[in-house]
Amino acid sequence: MHIFILITILFVSNFSVAKKAKILHVEFYLHDIVGGSNRSAVQVAGQSSNVTGLNPITSMFGSVFVMDNALTSTPSLNSTLVGRAQGLYAMASQHNEFSLLMTLTFHFIQESYNGSSFSVVGRNPVMSEIREMPIVGGTGVFRMARGYCLAKTYSMDQMDAVVGYNVTIFL
């Protein structure tokens, strides 16, 4: 009897492991444009980044931005638009670092990912070379997704940034 139950449990757990074996790898570039006339991220709360005489890190603590950032296939903003990253990020550290709380949806418009999205909630210490952020769920082909993003800044122009995303998703 006990052996039978054990075999059943082993079979069930093997079955669920086999079902979850699908791994997707997706790469794209995110364009965070906060300056100029075509900005895609706007500050909605907190102090301005350039109050003279104040430490920009501690004075921007509490600032909140809303983004609708383009996701493209190469670092050029002119390359194929694969989707958009929409959501909020907040300056969440008052210590000597720019650390953001990211609460974002990544929505895709290309090929088999068209109409699907995944959600990211995580810590983004933007001065670190590689930032890891967890994927906490998704819709469409990404329904019930788990995974992680590895984000690396590709280029910076004042506050505007192009960020490369390497995304691994377990379905």
Ligand X SMILES: *[C@@H]1O[C@H](CO)[C@@H](O)[C@H](O)[C@H]1NC(C)=O
Residues in contact with ligand X by the rule CB under 6 A: 27, 29, 35-38, 48-50, 76-78, 109-110, 114-115, 152, 164-166
Q: Which is nearer to ligand X, 29 or 90 (CB)?
A: 29
Angle among Cα 50, 43, 120 to the nearest 5 degrees reads 120
102, 133 in Cβ contact below 8 A?
yes
CA distance 86 to 83: 10
**Chain residue at closest Cβ approach to ligand X:** 164
Torsion of CA 95, 98, 101, 103, to 10 degrees: 170
Least Å from the CB of residue 120 to ligand X: 15
Which lies closer to ligand X via its Cβ, residue 58 or residue 166? 166
CB of 73 to ligand X, least distance (A): 9
Minimum CB–partner distance for residue 28 and ligand X (Å): 6
Q: Please state the closest distance from residue 75 (CB atom) to ligand X, in A.
A: 8
User: For residue 93, what are its two tokens?
Assistant: 């550290």
Give the nearer residue to ligand X in terms of CB position, either 35 or 125: 35
Return the number of the residue (77 or 141) whose C-beta is nearest ligand X. Answer: 77
